Structure 1
Amino acid sequence: MEVAEVFIACKKETHYSRELILPQPALVHIVSGEMRIVTAERHYQFFAGDTILLPRNQLGRMSKLPLAGQPCIAISVVFRKEKLQQYYTENQLATSQRHGAELMVLGEHPLLKSLFNSLQPYFELADALPGDIAALKVEEAIRVLRVIDPQVDLLLGHFEEPGKLDLVSFMEQNYCFNLPLEKFGYLTGRSLTTFKKDFRKAYNSTPGKWLTRKRLELAHYQISEKKRKPSEVYLDAGFEDLSHFSYAFKKHFGYSPGSL
């Protein structure tokens, strides 16, 4: 099922978290609550009124939390590759050979305010805009962003697939993100078969065993040295649920994480 191009999302859970790797760029405006994004390089916190532009293929973890009794509500505008290519071609704009990988934090601007104010009435009718209206709003968003900061072309106008990266450097930075091996391969510019082959050459181990060990060592450090609770650590260490984390931890270390 294809994701809508313009939609509003509301998360009422105490803590909602998922790995973040977008197949296309997205503009996100926080209406209420708190959003946290963790990448290999930085930790970000965003609140009501903040607007961010997320690049495609940036690996991270997104958490949405309620704040001051309000759920985390965000409006998203998704820029599909074919729409961006069409826009850059029709307007005879050069696309970027360089990729601004980091997300962009956008300051307050009258044009951004006008864009999101114009979207809000539609969400009283549905959670997503109809396709024909969404197409107009997506193009408006592109034009607004390019007026605010021409550097967005580095992010929006980049259509190349990931090139072959140094596998060891990438994995040491990103092992705590819970992704399928196919995604790790894609992000390092490899097929799954080549990724596994290169991984064994580099580490003399399978990716699965290595990832589990690294994540457990990180969790052990966070609990024993940073005095964090297992329930606070397991997601950050790359595990999907607390029970699986506790089982793997005890199997590896011989004692439960709670005993620390």
Structure 2
Amino acid sequence: MQQEQNNNNIILYACEGETHFGHDPFVYEHFIGIITSGSAHHFTDKGVVDYPSGSLCLVRRNQLMKAIKKPDGEKPYATITVFLEQKTLKEYSLEYDVKASGVYSGEPILVLENDAFMKGYFDSLMPYFDQPEKLTPILEQAKTTEVITLLLRNPALKNFLFDFSEPRKIDLEAYMNRYFPYNVPLTQFAKLTGRSLSTFKRDFVKIFNLTPEKWLQKRRLEQAHFLIMQKNKRPSDIYLELGFETLSHFSYAFKKQFGHPPTELQSISRASLN
């Protein structure tokens, strides 16, 4: 069972079962969030990062994320997330004369110390799980301003919060080979590589000699073949990880590409290990 109380910028979320990639993998706005129970496993190109209960993270906009959310026994996976929209941050910057000193170049996800002030802040939001209607727009605005001010106790976060520049044009080949498993629209890949959609498509064909749609499917299926044959992975365990929405769609595309279903390849892989 999943429960989400969305008050525009502040989301109170609880889910009793395990969820795989239970959100849009594209991060549209900065957010700060704390896991109040359960844990999350974040999949990156460098491996899996585990976030236990109590983890407090500041996450930068314009990036791709995948995670599995897990309950802790009878306790559901639950989080409190505060989105820091560009509009809100620009208004804060103007009102309090706080500006970035340059382009942010640090890590896109920062694990923060859950100090007494931050603990008190998130504790003050806990009652709204049971009475979300009490979190009025005025209170929500005040709580958003409060958390920005708390973050700015660390001056190093000014560039993180108040760098309003958009992604610059980057190496398309390297980026796509790193992020091909993410199932997001081409418009978002274009934005993240600093291109218009038309420029993205034109550059893509020049580099890969295929359209983005054909290359993405081919690349994902090749990776699936490798994981099943060389790593003995089950098709049901990898199709979501590789950007396919359903197991049936994955199986159909795999058979069309390789001439046999992924389950048959799995049998061959298992036989080779015996």
TM-score interval (norm. to shorter): over 0.9
User: Is 1:233 aligned to residue 252 of structure 2?
Assistant: no
User: Is 1:211 aligned to residue 221 of structure 2?
Assistant: no
Note the alpha carbon deviations across 1:12-42, whole angstroms, 9 max, x for none: 3332314422221001110111212223345
Letter in 2 for 1:48: S
Instruction: Please report the TM-score for the alignment, with normalisation by the length of structure 1.
Output: 0.93
User: Is 1:145 aligned to residue 132 of structure 2?
Assistant: no
How many residue pairs end up in the alignment? 258
- Tell me which residue corresponds to 1:115: 121
- Correspondence list, 1:62-101, <5 A: 62-99=67-104, 100-101=106-107
- Unpaired runs of at least 5, structure 1: none
- Tell me which residue corresponds to 1:106: 112
Question: Partners in 1 of 2:208 and 2:174 — Cα distance?
Answer: 12
The offset of 1:58, in angstroms, is 1.4
Residues 1:188 and 1:3: Cα distance change in structure 2 (over 3 Å): farther
Say whether the 8 Å CA contact 1:30–1:49 is kept in structure 2. yes
For the pair shown, which has the larger CA radius of gyration, 1 or 2? 2
Say whether the 8 Å CA contact 2:7–2:140 is kept in structure 1. no
User: Is 1:174 aligned to residue 179 of structure 2?
Assistant: yes
Q: Which has the larger displacement, 109-118 or 45-54?
A: 45-54
Note the alpha carbon deviations across 1:93-140, whole angstroms, 9 max, x for none: 222432234200012210110001111112211278321101111111
- Tell me which residue corresponds to 2:195: 190
Q: Residue 12 of structure 1: which of 16, 19, 38 is its match? A: 16
Question: Partners in 1 of 2:116 and 2:107 — Cα distance?
Answer: 26
RMSD: 1.8
Residues 1:128 and 1:22: Cα distance change in structure 2 (over 3 Å): farther
Question: Partners in 2 of 1:186 and 1:81 — Cα distance?
Answer: 16
- Unpaired runs of at least 5, structure 2: 1-5, 267-274
Instruction: Please report the TM-score for the alignment, with normalisation by the length of structure 2.
Output: 0.88
SS of alignment partner, residue 225 of structure 1: helix
Question: Partners in 2 of 1:128 and 1:223 — Cα distance?
Answer: 50
The offset of 1:206, in angstroms, is 0.6
